[in-house]
Structure 1
Amino acid sequence: MFGRLLGSSEKLLDVFFPKYCLGCGREGDYLCPRCRPSLPFQEPPFCPACGKSLDHHPDCDSLSPELRQLSSVFRFEGVIKKAVHQLKYNNLRDIAPTLGGFMADFLKTNDFVGDALVPVPLHKSRLRERGYNQSQLLAISIHKLTGLPVFLEALRKLKATPPQADSGSVEERRLAVVGAFGCYNNFMGRRVILIDDVATSGATLSACAKALASAGAQEVRALTLAREI
């Protein structure tokens, strides 16, 4: 009964607040079938560790040993960059299932091993400002499509840090997040998949992986929607 009511509500929302493709403006979905083939998918070959295209791969030694793998579905450019900005800064939470769907497909088609989803947290001040955590929304969408359990509050951000995109060198980004995250779940023996929207240097994901490893995680991999090249 609840499912039918929810479906009816979603249909009503589509009538009064229709979705328009961010690529071409066509009504129907935020990323329409006609535009999807031209999206900036990360093309193989990838670095098996940091996930960057080998054509743009300088060095991945900056990733922590606790982070076994970092992969991204898209390059952070074009329509995907626009979609992320809409999700994070324009309150377009309704786009999360579409974006999370791409991430779920990536997990299924690339044999991405894991048995727990953990979103990268926001500091409480940033969460108050934005009103939601976009990485949580992506993780929930992936959970619904894959059935993998999701632990929304497993990680906490203990101190505010500047956005990674605004930081300087890789070393400065790494130092900015030292001790910034804590884990409040027991992940003994778990293979955790970290979920985030965009990877820059990988410093944030590495710091999260350290916190998860300290909570007993057997291995930690990270999947982001997009990657800055």
Structure 2
Amino acid sequence: MNPLQLLFPNRCLECNRIISSEEVVCGLCYDQIHFTHNHLSENNLLKEKCSLLFPVENAVALLQFEKENLSRKIVHQLKYGNREKIGKILANWTLEKTDVKNLIFDVLVTVPLHPKKLRKRGYNQLHLYAETLSKELRIPFDHTLIRRNFHKKAQAKRSRKEREATQNLFSITKEISGKHILLIDDVFTTGNTISSIAWEILKYPNNTVSVLMIATD
């Protein structure tokens, strides 16, 4: 065992029990996580929300993002806690808990960070998640297809008016047509970020878009 692991063991985000370095919560607290299971329901609320904003083929969400719940803690650690490895854990949960493995896509893409924010954070919280899915699903992941044109405050820190002002925030870096693209993001809130990217993709002939969210509120 790494000496640092002896001094600073990995602990469950919820109960603080010592757990394996490959885990984020202990077995008992895992049962407290609110998975959406939306593929088992006749009513896919995420797809309904997306459909109001842009044409969407499929919409999948892993976690229910609620105030002060464990799902929120996990996502916040992934984004702000310098714990990029959580992305791999979440990807494995996505394969286990959703029907994404039964759907067919041509390419995976993620919502990009602006280079300024990427330098500050040190990693894009979605890349390891998407890379893990790409490997397991055998679908290519293109992390350069979408470019963020402007640096904006984090979605959670922005006012509703600022969230709505997403025109021209993203652009496509290369021509792509006739593809079914799975667009991946961490949390679905207003849907404006996903919508602005989807419409950029749909400008090209015969493209279709599906959505995969780590969490939805």
Give the TM-score band, short-chain normalised.
Answer: 0.7 to 0.9
Match of 2:183 in 1: 194
With the length of structure 2 as denominator, give the TM-score of the two structures: 0.82
Task: Give how far 1:32 is off.
Answer: 3.0
Match of 2:195 in 1: 206
Task: Give how far 1:34 is off.
Answer: 3.0
Gap regions ≥5 residues in structure 2:
none
Task: Give how far 1:49 is off.
Answer: 6.7
Task: Give how far 1:215 is off.
Answer: 4.1
Match of 1:33 in 2: 27
Structure-2 separation of matches of 1:219 and 1:13: 49
Match of 2:103 in 1: 112
Amino acid at match of 2:199: K
Structure-2 separation of matches of 1:13 and 1:203: 45
Task: Give how far 1:38 is off.
Answer: 2.2
Aligned-pair identity in percent equals: 30
1:83-102 pair list within 5 angstroms: 83-102=74-93
Aligned residues: 209
Amino acid at match of 1:155: I
Match of 2:211 in 1: 222
Q: Does 1:50 align with 2:46?
A: yes
Match of 2:134 in 1: 143
Q: Does 1:157 align with 2:148?
A: yes
Mark the CA change 1:60 to 1:145 in structure 2 (over 3 Å): closer, same or farther. closer
SS in 1 for 2:95: helix
Instruction: Please say if residues 50 and 63 of structure 1, whose CA atoms lie closer than 8 Å, have aligned partners that are also in contact.
Output: no
Task: Give how far 1:178 is off.
Answer: 0.8
CA deviation string 1:44-68 (max 9, x = no partner): 436447347xxxxxx6665123x44
RMSD: 2.7
Structure-2 separation of matches of 1:164 and 1:62: 20
1:113-132 pair list within 5 angstroms: 113-132=104-123
Structure-1 separation of matches of 2:182 and 2:63: 17
